[in-house]
Amino acid sequence: MSVAIVGVGQTPFSRNCGVSIRELCFEAFREALEDLNLTSKEIDASIICSAPEYDKQRSPAGLISEYLGLTPKPTFYAESICSSSSTGVKVGYSFIKSGLHEIVAVIGFQKMSEISSAEVQERMGRGADTQWESPFGTMMPAGYAMYARAHMQKYGTTEEQLAKIKVKSGKYALLNPLAIFRREITLEECLKARVIASPLKMYDCCANADGASCVIMASEEKARKTTDTPVWVAGIGAASDTLSTTGRSNLTGLTCAVDAAKQAYQMAHLEPKDVDVAEVHDCFTIAEIMAYENLGFCKPSEGGKLIEESQTYIGGKIPVNVDGGLLSKGHPIGATGGSQIRTIVLQLQGRAGKTQVKGAEVGLVHNIGGIGVYGNVTLLRR
């Protein structure tokens, strides 16, 4: 039995949304239901996804399922830090594939504006080992800065190549009305920006944001009754790595991403060359370069060359993050994976507007939790 995505939704990503988490989730849910032959009462399970400790609500699944009118159907809570909503999609896929449920709503959210930026960094740092790692300063920027330094030392990757990732991001965010930063950034601006964790500068880092996303999944039978344009889950992979970076043998790529990608390609009977458009987890510019290599879009050591040659722009070898990515669209942790999936679903349905990749039939979503702790890769087909 095949599993399809029939509806997708997303709020604008913003610095301060000014509404409650239930209202955020409703906005994404409402968009996902648009144009579907489906009511909320026909959804027979929901999976709510976020990272805890950013707002006061404990056990948000109960709150949100009630507000969206999904009770008394079961609701579940999924959390894998920044990859929470793509983890939710894997769980939803499993529910449908097993026959337990036929229609599942996966709703991701985060309202990060309720606490200060310093508090956000402290919460993010607790995604690492709180006894032996995060107390010593390995917050997210520092963790990815170590990867950047290792990549530069081994492969000769340059700060200019990192900056070119942000330049591409800004170009496409300008065309995305839901992005938090809708302006182009010059290479010079990127290189002259203040240092956050060397070699990563301000524009090498993604932005905290408020936002929500929704992915509605269905069995093949229900999907064909619900929409004329289902997008099929062709392959889905997930893997993890040691929580502490000191336990890892590779600091020039994310092993969890490599393993998850292998699973997804094998399940879908596809290869990297078959992918027409991709969304990758560019929480930092180095993360996108590593993703090129980890997903097989180029050989290890050639990620910098791929952006140098503009091969990840529309019209290049493999368009990547043509919605602005996390760097410019924003990164409301629990909503990010669902937002990435929404972008690819719209591409495969031919509804991506000014950023449409012509003839896109296969799309890939790469969503990472923490500093390479959790890796999810999802392959979708038109």
DSSP string, 325-342: HHHHH---GGGHHHHHHH
Spell out a b/e string for 223-239, using b for 16 or more CB atoms within 10 Å of the CB, else e: beebbeebbbbbbbbbb
Q: Is 331 a catalytic residue?
A: yes
Q: Based on C-alpha coordinates, what's the Rg of the chain?
A: 19
For residues 185 and 167, is the Cβ–Cβ distance under 8 A?
A: yes
* H or E stretch at 170: helix 159-173
- The CA distance from 53 to 94, in Å, is 28
Given the residues 101, 151, 331, 366, the one annotated as active site: 331
Beta carbons within 8 Å of 196's beta carbon, 6+ residues apart? 141, 145, 202, 204, 205
Cis peptide before 199 (omega within 30 of 0): yes
Beta carbons within 8 Å of 318's beta carbon, 6+ residues apart? 272, 275, 276, 277, 278, 292, 297, 311, 312
Given the residues 49, 82, 283, 298, the one annotated as active site: 82
Candidates 261, 255, 215, 254; CA nearest to 238 is: 261
Taking every pair of C-alpha atoms in the chain, what is the biggest distance, in angstroms? Answer: 56
Question: Beta-carbon neighbour count of residue 52 at 10 Å?
Answer: 16
Bridge pairing between strands 231-240 and 374-381? antiparallel
Measured in degrees and rounded to the nearest 5, phi and psi for residue 253 equal -170, 170
For residues 228 and 18, is the Cβ–Cβ distance under 8 A?
A: no
* Residue 248, token pair as written in the block: 């890892």
Tally of residues, the chain: 382
What is the set of active-site residues? 82, 331
